[in-house]
Structure 1
Amino acid sequence: MSIDSVWPATTAWREGVLHLGGLAVTDLAREHGTPAYILDEADFHARARAWRDALPDGDVHYGGKAFLCPEVVRWLGPLGLNLDVCTGGELAVAQAGGMPPARVVFHGNNKSVTELRRAVAWGVGCVVLDSFTELDRLAAIAAEHGRVQDVMIRVTPGVDARTHKSIATGGDDSKFGFSLAAGDAARAVGRVRAQPSLRLRGLHSHIGSQILTLDGFAEAARRMAAFARPLGIERLDLGGGLGIAYRPGDPQPPTPSELVAVLQKETGDLHLSVEPGRSIAGPSTVALYTVGTVKGPYVSVDGGMSDNPRPAMYGAAYTTRLASRASTAAPRAATVVGKHCESGDILVRDAGLPADLAPGDILAVPASGAYQRSMAGNYNHVPRPPVIAVRDGAARVVVRRETEDDLLRLYR
Structure 2
Amino acid sequence: MLPPADSLAPAWLTVPEDANDLAAGVWPASAVRDDDGGLVLAGVSAASLVRTHGTPVVVIDEDEVRTRARAFRLAFERAASDAGTTAQVYYAGKAFLSTTVARWVIDEGLRVDVCTRGELEIALAAGVAPGSLGFHGNNKSVAELERAVEVGVGSIIVDSAIEIERLAAITARRDAVQRVLVRVISGVHAETHDFLATAHEDQKFGFPLEDAAAAVARIREVPGLEFAGLHCHIGSQIFGVAGFRESASRLLELHAALLQDGPVPQLNLGGGFGIAYTRVDDPTPIDVLAAEIVSAVAEGCAARGIPVPALSFEPGRAIIGTAGVTLYEVGTTKDVTIASGAVRRYISVDGGMSDNARPALYGAQYSARLASRRGDGEPQLSRVVGKHCESGDIVVDHEYLPADLVPGDLLAVPVTGAYCVSLASNYNHVPRPPVLAVRDGRSRVIVRGETLDDLLSRDAGIDGASAPEGEK
TM-score (normalised: structure 1): 0.97
Q: In the alignment, is the contact (CA less than 8 A) between 2:240 and 2:289 conserved in 1?
A: no
Cross-structure match for 1:196: 223
Cross-structure match for 1:282: 321
Amino acid at match of 2:328: Y
What SS class does the counterpart of residue 44 from structure 1 fall into?
helix
Q: Which residue, out of 144, 158, 182, partners 1:153? A: 182
Q: In the alignment, is the contact (CA less than 8 A) between 2:24 and 2:279 conserved in 1?
A: no
- Displacement of 1:16: 1.4
Q: In the alignment, is the contact (CA less than 8 A) between 1:156 and 1:170 conserved in 2?
A: yes
Q: Which residue, out of 231, 235, 240, partners 1:208? A: 235
Deviations 1:366-401 (A, max 9, x none): 111111000010100001011100000110000111
After TM superposition, the structure 1 = structure 2 runs for residues 340-359 of structure 1, keeping only pairs within 5 Å, are 340-359=388-407
- Displacement of 1:350: 2.3
**CA pair 4-120 structure 1, distance change in 2 beyond 3 A:** farther
- For the pair 1:271 / 2:310, whether they are aligned, the reply is yes
Q: Which residue, out of 256, 266, 270, partners 1:235? A: 266
- For the pair 1:43 / 2:64, whether they are aligned, the reply is yes
**CA pair 391-55 structure 1, distance change in 2 beyond 3 A:** same
| Percent of matched pairs sharing the same residue | 53
- Displacement of 1:212: 0.9
Amino acid at match of 2:269: L
- Displacement of 1:100: 0.5
Amino acid at match of 1:25: A
Amino acid at match of 1:308: N
Of stretches 51-60 and 151-160 in structure 1, the one that deviates more from structure 2 is 51-60
Distance in structure 1 (CA, Å) of the matches to 2:347 and 2:376: 19
Amino acid at match of 2:164: L
- Displacement of 1:3: 11
Of stretches 91-100 and 223-232 in structure 1, the one that deviates more from structure 2 is 223-232
Cross-structure match for 2:411: 363
TM-score (normalised: structure 2): 0.85
Amino acid at match of 2:389: C
Deviations 1:112-156 (A, max 9, x none): 011111111111111000000001001111111110100000010
Q: In the alignment, is the contact (CA less than 8 A) between 1:104 and 1:125 conserved in 2?
A: yes
Distance in structure 1 (CA, Å) of the matches to 2:421 and 2:117: 18
Distance in structure 1 (CA, Å) of the matches to 2:320 and 2:23: 12
Distance in structure 1 (CA, Å) of the matches to 2:179 and 2:398: 50
Cross-structure match for 2:287: 257
- Displacement of 1:409: 2.0
Q: Which residue, out of 128, 136, 158, partners 1:129? A: 158
Cross-structure match for 2:48: 27
Q: In the alignment, is the contact (CA less than 8 A) between 2:22 and 2:32 conserved in 1?
A: no
Deviations 1:261-309 (A, max 9, x none): 2221222222110000000010011110000111222111000000001
Q: In the alignment, is the contact (CA less than 8 A) between 2:388 and 2:428 conserved in 1?
A: yes
Q: In the alignment, is the contact (CA less than 8 A) between 2:90 and 2:110 conserved in 1?
A: yes
- Displacement of 1:327: 2.2
Amino acid at match of 2:52: E
Deviations 1:86-116 (A, max 9, x none): 0111111111111100000000000001111
Deviations 1:332-370 (A, max 9, x none): 111111000001111112221111111110000111111
Distance in structure 2 (CA, Å) of the matches to 1:405 and 1:328: 40
Distance in structure 2 (CA, Å) of the matches to 1:63 and 1:340: 30
Q: In the alignment, is the contact (CA less than 8 A) between 1:2 and 1:9 conserved in 2?
A: no
**CA pair 315-87 structure 1, distance change in 2 beyond 3 A:** same
Q: How many residues are treated as equivalent by the alignment?
A: 409
Cross-structure match for 1:224: 251
Q: In the alignment, is the contact (CA less than 8 A) between 1:3 and 1:9 conserved in 2?
A: no
Cross-structure match for 2:16: none
Distance in structure 2 (CA, Å) of the matches to 1:267 and 1:256: 17
Amino acid at match of 2:327: L
In structure 1, the gaps of 5 or more residues are none
- Displacement of 1:47: 0.4
Cross-structure match for 1:55: 76
4+ runs deviating over 3 angstroms: 1-4
Amino acid at match of 1:37: V
CA RMSD of aligned residues (A): 1.4
Cross-structure match for 2:371: 323
Cross-structure match for 1:166: 195
Distance in structure 2 (CA, Å) of the matches to 1:387 and 1:339: 20
Amino acid at match of 1:245: A
Amino acid at match of 2:258: L
Distance in structure 1 (CA, Å) of the matches to 2:75 and 2:252: 20
Q: In the alignment, is the contact (CA less than 8 A) between 1:3 and 1:47 conserved in 2?
A: no
- Displacement of 1:235: 1.0
Amino acid at match of 1:10: S
Distance in structure 1 (CA, Å) of the matches to 2:160 and 2:68: 33
Distance in structure 1 (CA, Å) of the matches to 2:151 and 2:334: 54
- For the pair 1:106 / 2:107, whether they are aligned, the reply is no
Amino acid at match of 1:184: D
Cross-structure match for 1:78: 107
**CA pair 274-191 structure 1, distance change in 2 beyond 3 A:** same
Cross-structure match for 1:292: 331
